Amino acid sequence: MHTYDRAAPLGVGQVKCAGNYAADIVPAKQAKDAGFPICLYLDAREHKYVEEFSTSNFAAITKSNVYLTPNSKSVLGSVTNMCLEVLAKDMGMSVERRPIDFEAEVANFKEVGAIGTGVVITVIDSITRGDKKYTFEQPSAVLQSMYNKLRAIQVGDEPDTHGWLREIPA
């Protein structure tokens, strides 16, 4: 929904608070009614740079195998995204956290994912903006591999070599 903003410049988009989700209520309903499960927001100042999805961080695997995620003061930080950045490096990929110019870069995305605590990664099949539809590789081999690895670490099926897990005494 390109006529809405999720967070104001110099606002509190990087903070976990109810107001940051309220801005998405109307656009999310309109998107759902139009057949889209989630909205992707661009920056509110220029409507040029990728910020995040309605409920999740944005990450892309580029055609040159770079794990790319936005660097924006309006985006809520994600421990899950930080873990995936580490796993990407473990897989030999470059990791870039920087402004992502939607129009200039979306055609270079091989895979796109919505990153969040509960789902880890939701693979995005396509992004539609206006009359343009950008589709991404399916199945999503790199993101699926990263999902499998992180979940295996979380449930103890693979060793936690990064010290992410904490034992909670009974």
Structural domain boundaries enclosing 71: 18-154
pLDDT above 70: residue 9: no
Examine residue 10 and state whether it is found in any structural domain, yes or no.
Answer: no
pLDDT band at 12 (very low <50, low <70, confident <90, very high): very low
| Cα gap 166→170, rounded to integer Å | 13
Active site residues: 16
**Per the domain annotation, does 164 fall within a domain?**
no
CA dihedral for 43, 48, 53, 57, sign (positive or negative): negative
> Is 124 within a domain?
yes
Q: For residue 151, what are the CA distances in angstroms to 83, 87, 107, 110?
A: 11, 12, 29, 22
What dihedral angle (degrees, nearest 10) is formed by the CA atoms of 99, 48, 112, 95? -10
Does residue 28 form part of some domain?
yes
**CATH code for the domain in which residue 150 is found:** 3.20.10.10
Task: Read off the pLDDT of residues 43-87 as tens digits, 9 standing for 90 and up.
Answer: 988 999 999 998 899 999 999 999 999 998 888 889 999 999 999
Residue 89 belongs to a domain? yes
Q: How many residues can be counted in the chain? A: 170
- Report pLDDT for 69: 98
Domain count, the chain: 1
pLDDT at residue 20 in the model = 58
- Read off the DSSP letter of residue 43: P
170 in a structural domain: no
Residue 84 covered by a domain: yes
pLDDT band at 10 (very low <50, low <70, confident <90, very high): very low
| pLDDT digits 0-9 by tens, 90-144 | 999 999 999 999 999 999 999 999 999 989 999 999 999 999 999 999 999 999 9
Torsion 87-154-17-124 (CA) sign: positive
Binned at pLDDT 50, 70 and 90, residue 31 comes out as confident
**Which has more pLDDT, 27 or 60?**
60
